[in-house]
Structure 1
Amino acid sequence: LVFQDANLMPWRNVRENIALPLILQGMPRSQALQKADTWLEIVGLQGFGEALPRELSGGMAQRVAIARSLIQEPGLLLLDEPFGALDALTREKMASELLRLWQEHRTTVLMVTHSISEAILLSDRVLVLSSRPGRVVLDLAVDLPRPRDEDIRYTPEFGALARELRRAITD
C-alpha cells in the first residue's frame, strides 16, 4: 500500500526504509539490505541509500515508498493518490516510473487518482465512482498499446478516452 504521503521512518535512511518490510518479516538484516540495494537501482535512487528522508525531494520519497512496497513482491499494489502532493513535472516523471516498473514486474496495480490524464496513461481499465453512495458509473477499457510513454497523451485515441471519462465525471 502506497499513500499520498510517503510515510517514511525519519530516523531510518533510504536503504533501511526500503528493507523494513523484509526485516519485519524476519529476513536477516544483511539480506534485506542487499535486496534494498537492488530496489534502489530499480527506482533510480542509487547513491541515495544512506540519505535520510528529510534530504529527499517529494518524488524521491515516493519512489522509496513504492520500492518499499514492491520489495515484498506483492501480487497487488494499492496506490492511494501517490502523486497527489507532487508538482506537475515530478508527477509526470513518477507516472513514467510506474509505467516502467509495471512493464518490468507486471504487478497488478489498483490506483486511486483524480487525474483523468493519469488514469488513462497508467491504466488498462478505469472505474469512475459516483458521489455518495459510491457506485460505479463508468467502467472504461483503455485499449492503448503498451509500452506507453508521455507522447501517447497527444493522440486522438487518448483524447477520445479523456472526453468519455470527463463526461462520466460531470454527469
Structure 2
Amino acid sequence: EGHISIDNLNTHSNHWVIFNINETGFFRVNYDSRNWDMLTTHLLHPTKFLKIGELNRAQIVDDSFNLARAGVLNYSVALNISRYLAQETSYFPWASAFPALNYIDSMIAKMPIYDKFKKFVLHLLTKLYEETGYTDNAWDEQLTVYKRVELFKWACDLSQTECVRT
C-alpha cells in the first residue's frame, strides 16, 4: 500500500539515479540492487562522493537504514553504503547515520559481533573526529556544535582513546 514502482527506466546501465532529490517528499526510495551498488561505489570514491549533494547523501543513508530496519532491504546494503562515512564530515549525512547506528548498537550490544561493530563505527568516526575535534570554539557554526555533541557521545561510548583521555 502506498508505493510506486518504476520499471524499465530508459537510463544507461552504468549510471545510477537518485529520486526524491534533496528529500523534498515524505517517502522512502528503494532502488534495485544494481543502483544501490552503483551508488555505493560512487559514495566510496574519495572525491566523487561530493558530486552527490549533502542532503542526497543524507537521504541515501537514511533510506537505506530505514528500509533495512523495515525488512525491505538487506542490512548489508545499508552497512556497505555507510562505509563511505569514513570520508564524510558534513553534518546531515551523519545526522541520518547516528540514529540508525544507535538502533543497531542497541540491538547487538550483547552479541559476540558487537566488538566488530564498535571497531567499524570508530573507523567511520576517525575523519570526523580529526576535523571536528572535541574542543568548542566561539566561532563554531551551530551544525558543527551539533556534530561535535554526537561525535563526543559516540566516541566516548565506544571508548575511543582520545575521548577517554578528555
TM-score range, shorter chain: 0.3 to 0.5
TM-score, with structure 1 as normaliser: 0.34
Higher relative contact order (CA 8 A, sep 6+): 1
How does the TM-score come out when normalised to structure 2? 0.34
**Larger proportion of strand:** 1
| Higher percent of residues as helix | 2
